[in-house]
Structure 1
Amino acid sequence: MRLISFLGLGEAKRDPDGKPTGEYVYQPTTYRFNQDPQTDINDTCYVVRAITQGYVIEEKGTGSHKVKEVVLLATEQAEKAHLHKILAEFEAHQLPQPRVVRVPFGSNAEQQWEQFNTILENIPQGNDKKVIFDITHGFRSQPFFAAAVINYVRSTRNIEEIPDMRILYGEYNREKRASDIWDMSTFINLLDWSSSLQSFMKTGHGAGLATLARQENAAIQKAGQGERPRTLASLAESIRAFSDNISTVRVPQIITGKERGSASDVLAKIAQSEAEVRTHFMPLFPVLEQLQAKLQGIPADSLFSPQGHQAMLELAKLYVSYERYPEAAIVLREGWVSLYAETQGADEQQLKPDVRSNMESRWNAAEGKDSPERIADQIRNVRNDIQHGGFKEKDARNPANSLIRDLQILLDKFEAKLKA
């Protein structure tokens, strides 16, 4: 297990008259893990020594993991002020000697990118690796860069190349005998959940959430941890099902379904997970509120009802917000056709081929080539132009922004018709 620790300057030492001596110090304390006195590491100024000596990860199947390699990221000034003391403590306790990696102050963009790359270069590849980040004594923005690099690695590396990464912070307390070392690793998972939810909200793709849920469950089983939040995985699975329907334009399954549509299921799972989100992942709560607002108007009891027609309008708008214009054109066309059902409800009967064909005939007769606006022809032209990829001779020079504009105009007209 590799420990990557940041070393800053600490406090400026002063003489009895209060004048700086030019030396920098960290105050000695007893560091403690999990608020357990049996884990105490006594009388050290350096949390890096306490973590190296006392931090253990217990996992089912793989046993105990201790720090075997230490990378100390330090500016030149911090190295001169503290390295000799750190090395002496490590030697006295027979710990693996730290490898010092020099980093700049980060006072300009060039130095900040150098810091970023230095941290990145010291993160090993492979999901069999374990990396601990100690941000306790981080200088200036170094802890921020650690979080940025962790997020970057988890977003850009293949899954088999991402190590198990954790974050520790030692809370030095002058008033107490022991200073607790906190495991902040939950916030790494928070980044994943937040990123996956945002990806779904912006694109409609929810497979990443389902993958995250499976990984989270596997990690819990492997670590043998106690009771953990349970409804977040269920929420992610409902979003995956909704995403699959969105990707394949399963309009009936999205809006209604046999018992209730996948949009309704997502909304139900959001309600069920609200308490756990507030307790364990509070920063995600506003994201779920936004997702709830996006889906609120989509569920309906029947496609062939005023509520169902409005739901298809809202679904088409959702596709536009995802910049998925072919799907929006499909939903718009089917929504307009559905207005010409002879009766309301009875969805299974209304979706039979002959019934649907008669519905389309009535739509074409009312709003096709013989009508003033020829809405049916306009929708058909936009949809076909997109689906044929511009390979129709008359469509070849039709620019994308023109198609998007025409689609939005037709959506506005559909909305106006529903209000009429």
Structure 2
Amino acid sequence: MTTSKEDPSPHPRLVTFLGTGQYSATTYFLGDRIAESRFVAQALARLLDCERVIVLATSEAEKANGEALGEALEQDGRVVCMRRIPSGRSEAELREQFRIMRDTLSEDAQTPLVIDITHGFRAQPFFAGAGLAVLSAAGRLPRDMRIVYGAFEAKADNMAPIWDLSPFVEMMHFAQAAATFKRTGDARPLAEALEAERRRIAQRARRGEREYARSRLVNPLRRFAADLAATRMAALLVGVERNGKFEEPSAQALHKALRAWAEECDRDHPALVPLINDLLEMTQDLIVPEPAAREQGLAAPQARRASSALAQLYRRFGRLMEAAAVAREEIVSRVAATPEAIRAGRADFDREARERAERAAAEASGIRGLWSWRNDLLHAGMRGNPEPGEKLAANVKTLVDKIAEPPRTIIVTRHPGAVDWLRAQGILGDEIVRHMTDEHIAALRPGDRVVGTLPVELVARLCDLGVICDILSVNLGNERRGHELSADELQAAGARLVRMHARKLG
């Protein structure tokens, strides 16, 4: 329990079970304190200074030991409350057992609670654990709580230890908090559990106990959670520049902290290891290699993949607004003409170039419908004919799935020298065609790229779909027109790629 001289906790209440056995006098010890009694509940009330004792007993247990235990506790000045529970011989009785335990454990959340599972019949101790799990998930348990077991079978020289099983309750809190983070992205319960763990470690250190694994997760976790809640793409994935200094991406910082803690976690929190591994896996796809993150920011190819993973993560959390927002920004980034339009959070970010890319994307027929879904979410359906929630969820899934596929590059040319020149520029192309057919055009998606020699009518048609068009431009004299040129000859003639945007009027 947590106690201090400045703010002493009230006397705890003890919830205990009673069996039908013939109990003999035993000396119980907890730490360096001892108490002798034939009833472990009486010994615990003395050792932990419990003023109120609630005894859960079947009619058989109450008949066998109830009166003697009540008298012993009252002689010590304890307030005793005997509560009858059914034996549990049917499903209905088991449900009633659980209800009584649930109500007993949660009836006073302000007073510290001690739960004794030494005695009991059949499923009673198991139901106590189940009740703890349910009430913990509902936030209905006292913050100051411990669970104990009188290990009569482990006695030596008539001295029996009281085993403190509270770390297993703490482990349950950790597991629930980590599971909440994994399912929803809400890291607050896990951060609070880690803060509580820090306090417990400090108390154990003052008592001279062994060193426990000290998590360094709290600050990285809170930072990641804040960036996730606010949909800070750059801060999450590639880091931002603040006051001239590069700030490590919060996803990477959290991943590092999780990995460091996982190495120590198996000793002190073994039940958490599978969850920690899940959280490591969850953050792994958000990691962008440091050189690319620093030098290119969100314009880096690895960052484009991380953006897609972030959108998928939001959708998995059921956070449609954020999933749609990330997908929208990724599509705008694919349409952008320059890296500076993508490098959010950096000194060289070009706001005007970003706005041009947004306008180009908004004008594309292949994208306008996606924007409508996102706006419907943003404005909470405040329109004459809002989309049903299920349809919006399906639409967002479609949008997120689109950006999960990397953009394709189609090279359009009938000249081998042009293909060689483009390859020298690092443009290999996913497909090389002599001319664009309707079938080719139908397969294109927003953010795909077409490179080569294109008529202006085709450029307008492709731009209307949100496709990027880069035209191979070269100045040739009349004497060289109609001749095949090598890559070197194209380079010597000043070949270059020009980003084109066209819109058909009327």
2:177 is matched with 196
2:383 is matched with 392
Displacement of 1:126 in angstroms is 4.7
8 A Cα contact 1:350 1:356, kept in partner: no
Q: What are the within-5 Å matches in structure 2 for residues 35-184 of structure 1?
A: 36=32, 39-42=33-36, 44-53=37-46, 55-56=47-48, 66-87=49-70, 89-90=72-73, 94=76, 96=78, 98-123=80-105, 124-127=107-110, 129-156=111-138, 162=142, 164-173=144-153, 176-177=156-157, 178-184=159-165
Q: Secondary structure at the match of 1:137?
A: coil
Displacement of 1:140 in angstroms is 1.7
8 A Cα contact 1:70 1:99, kept in partner: yes
1:297-350 per-position Cα deviation (integer Å, ceiling 9, x unaligned): 112212111101000000000001001111101100111222235248865256
Q: Secondary structure at the match of 2:381?
A: coil
Distance 1:84 1:207 in 2: 47
Distance 1:96 1:389 in 2: 57
Displacement of 1:169 in angstroms is 0.5
Q: Which of 292, 299, 307 pairs up with 1:304?
A: 299
Task: State the structure with more CA Rg.
Answer: 2
Distance 1:330 1:350 in 2: 23
Distance 2:307 2:236 in 1: 10
8 A Cα contact 1:130 1:163, kept in partner: yes
8 A Cα contact 2:28 2:162, kept in partner: yes
2:463 is matched with none
Q: What are the within-5 Å matches in structure 2 for residues 203-222 of structure 1?
A: 203-218=184-199
Displacement of 1:107 in angstroms is 3.1
Distance 1:207 1:321 in 2: 18
Q: Secondary structure at the match of 1:323?
A: coil
1:353 is matched with 351
Assess, with a 3 A threshold, how the Cα gap between structure 1 residues 324 and 350 changes in structure 2: closer, same or farther: farther
Q: Which has the higher contact order (CA 8 A, sep 6+)?
A: 1
Structure 2 residue identity aligned to 1:403: L
Distance 1:402 1:173 in 2: 61
2:1 paired with 1:3 = no
Assess, with a 3 A threshold, how the Cα gap between structure 1 residues 195 and 175 changes in structure 2: closer, same or farther: closer
Displacement of 1:218 in angstroms is 4.8
Q: Secondary structure at the match of 1:122?
A: helix
Assess, with a 3 A threshold, how the Cα gap between structure 1 residues 391 and 100 changes in structure 2: closer, same or farther: closer
Distance 1:235 1:413 in 2: 34
Displacement of 1:215 in angstroms is 4.0
8 A Cα contact 2:112 2:142, kept in partner: no
1:78-126 per-position Cα deviation (integer Å, ceiling 9, x unaligned): 11112244346557x7453643211111333433343233234434525
Percent pairwise identity: 27
Distance 2:39 2:253 in 1: 51
Q: Which of 318, 338, 342 pairs up with 2:338?
A: 342
Assess, with a 3 A threshold, how the Cα gap between structure 1 residues 336 and 416 changes in structure 2: closer, same or farther: same
Q: Secondary structure at the match of 1:138?
A: coil
Distance 1:87 1:276 in 2: 46
8 A Cα contact 1:7 1:137, kept in partner: yes
TM-score, structure 1 as length reference: 0.80
Query: Aligned Cα RMSD in Å?
Result: 2.8
8 A Cα contact 1:47 1:170, kept in partner: yes
Structure 2 residue identity aligned to 1:385: D
Q: Secondary structure at the match of 2:117?
A: strand
2:30 is matched with 33
Assess, with a 3 A threshold, how the Cα gap between structure 1 residues 101 and 193 changes in structure 2: closer, same or farther: same
In structure 2, stretches of 5+ residues that fail to align are: 1-11, 241-246, 409-429, 431-506
Assess, with a 3 A threshold, how the Cα gap between structure 1 residues 116 and 265 changes in structure 2: closer, same or farther: same
Assess, with a 3 A threshold, how the Cα gap between structure 1 residues 346 and 252 changes in structure 2: closer, same or farther: closer
Displacement of 1:155 in angstroms is 4.0
Q: Secondary structure at the match of 2:152?
A: coil
1:346-373 per-position Cα deviation (integer Å, ceiling 9, x unaligned): 65256331131233345457xx13xxxx
Assess, with a 3 A threshold, how the Cα gap between structure 1 residues 47 and 175 changes in structure 2: closer, same or farther: closer
Displacement of 1:4 in angstroms is 1.2
2:298 paired with 1:275 = no
Assess, with a 3 A threshold, how the Cα gap between structure 1 residues 329 and 118 changes in structure 2: closer, same or farther: same
2:319 is matched with 324
In structure 1, stretches of 5+ residues that fail to align are: 11-24, 57-65
8 A Cα contact 1:231 1:269, kept in partner: no
1:21 is matched with none
| Count of residue correspondences | 378
Structure 2 residue identity aligned to 1:316: A
Structure 2 residue identity aligned to 1:359: A
Structure 2 residue identity aligned to 1:380: W
Distance 1:406 1:89 in 2: 68
Structure 2 residue identity aligned to 1:352: D
Assess, with a 3 A threshold, how the Cα gap between structure 1 residues 389 and 163 changes in structure 2: closer, same or farther: closer
TM-score, structure 2 as length reference: 0.68
Displacement of 1:294 in angstroms is 1.2
